[in-house]
A and B are shown apart, each in its own frame.
Chain A
């Protein structure tokens, strides 16, 4: 036979659970409040990154791809390439280095080749590559 429940034990249990519930009712809204809400954002699949002739051969520039930075590169041969500019290591914004003909992240010295493949430093994955079309003098970048 177990011990008989006492009035004191019941009151302690009652007060304890009440306090727990009260703490939860304060902490839950607090935790939800500090975590920012998802702001729905229209998915950007296609942007005009610049005009033909804006970029010299063997040069690159950052453009807006929705809320994210993208990198447009014109190779030494004159071909246009585009990538996500967010380094896959710790999300810094990369840039094109004409002297090395590579994409470089200044934050932790990461390197990518012109295919976006990580070839040096700490980046663990390739850059996301975009499709580039030149139409009516505009450079149009879209997700592949």
Chain B
């Protein structure tokens, strides 16, 4: 019976191979090598991010079956999902938890790539597409936060869109484009919904496709220090096959992540809060999602005016300039090599950025920090 079954599968695969010629993908995976050294663990983070993104897509599609994108119905529809729909609470909680874990893993992935200097030639496009993907994921977080139409989300959107509105030249257009008018209203919710479920997924698919293609084309980057050590010893580095060895290890991580997500969703279900009321004051203790907290705190501690210009504008320009430098790092740190002064400068720049973000984030969560 089983031999017959195997025969059928083999025949089906042969049929597919004759028409689609898909076996080149398997060959590609078998020929792809993953370097083995003391930093190999960081290579798993890209796959983990991809896995969490797939969870987001699946749970997001399931939420779409019941969600209604209007100011009058959004909150009630999410309430319906979490209280009446079988396992609705689980799907919504996993979507929220997975979004947070995804951004967390993505940040670690990005910083590990940064400190291991994996952005260096010829991987500039991989770095740029990866950084753009981080911005897109933050865009997903920002737009998705409003969709339950609760109080916290309403004011987070009010502040976030006001920040976009303070940008020089394009600010006014950006604010009206994002809000769908001058105020945060049901029109803003409809726009954010469209951006969250159509515009961002389309952009992400295109950029992620390019990112994965570049990773496949150039393979995993070995850190300059490891390369120098191997050169000094006159040995070629060790490696393992992507298919099946690395993928099987990836799978273990993905199973653990799925378990952790289910546990988090069951033990700490994501709260819905109170329905948004545009004519209520901002509630005490308001803060954005943790990954925006460092920007939130920056805007909070800046004085009203610096050198005659409003403090918030300095903050917004500073953060935008930092993001641009981060995006262009491969072109600024052109010859990363151990001992190179510019390379050391950029490593310090990365540590300072990381420390700044961590301190500002922790500050928000400290008693009295808000």
Using a CB–CB distance below 8 Å, which chain A residues touch chain B?
A: 34-36, 39, 62-64, 67-69, 71, 85, 89-95, 105-109, 118, 121-124
Contacts and interface: CB of A to CB of B under 8 A. Distances in A.
Contacts of B183: 67-68
A122 B300 contact: yes
B107 to A, nearest CB: 24
Nearest to A97: B284
B181 A107 contact: no
30 contacts: A35-B173, A35-B177, A36-B179, A62-B279, A69-B279, A71-B281, A89-B299, A90-B162, A90-B166, A91-B158, A91-B159, A91-B162, A92-B158, A92-B282, A94-B281, A94-B282, A95-B281, A95-B282, A105-B282, A106-B283, A106-B286, A107-B159, A107-B282, A107-B286, A108-B296, A108-B300, A109-B300, A109-B370, A121-B300, A123-B304
B304 A36 contact: no
A24 to B, nearest CB: 18
A118 to B, nearest CB: 7
A90 B312 contact: yes
Nearest to B313: A124
Interface in B154-196: 155, 158-159, 162-163, 166, 173, 176-177, 179-181, 183, 187
B5 interface: no
Interface of B: 155, 158-159, 162-163, 166, 173, 176-177, 179-181, 183, 187, 278-286, 296, 299-305, 310-312, 370
A94 B284 CA distance: 10
A106 B176 contact: no
Nearest to B297: A108
B359 to A, nearest CB: 18
A92 B304 CA distance: 16
Given A69-B279, A90-B299, A93-B281, A122 B159 contact: no
Contacts of A89: 299, 304, 312
Contact of A36 (B176, B301, B312): B176
A62 B284 CA distance: 15
Contacts of A93: 155, 158, 279-282
A94 B282 CA distance: 6
A111 B296 CA distance: 17
Contact of B302 (A63, A64, A94, A122): A122
B158 A122 contact: no
Nearest to A96: B281
B304 A118 contact: yes
B279 A106 contact: no
Contacts of B158: 90-93, 107
A10 to B, nearest CB: 36
Contacts of B284: 106
B191 to A, nearest CB: 9
B159 A92 contact: yes
Contacts of B302: 122
A57 B306 CA distance: 38
A30 to B, nearest CB: 12
Nearest to B315: A122
Given A36-B181, A91-B158, 5 more contacts: A39-B181, A106-B282, A107-B159, A118-B304, A122-B312
Contacts of A95: 281-282
Nearest 5 interchain pairs by C-beta? A95-B281, A124-B304, A108-B300, A106-B282, A90-B162
A103 B310 CA distance: 21
A68 B281 CA distance: 12
A90 B304 contact: no
A64 B173 contact: no
A107 B177 contact: no
A124 B180 contact: no
Contacts of A62: 279-281
Nearest to B303: A122
A106 B162 contact: no
A106 B300 contact: no
B176 A122 contact: no
A36 B159 contact: no
Contact of A92 (B155, B303, B370): B155
Nearest to B369: A109
Given A106-B284, A122-B302, A35 B155 contact: no
Nearest to A103: B281
A94 B155 CA distance: 11
Contacts of A69: 278-279, 281
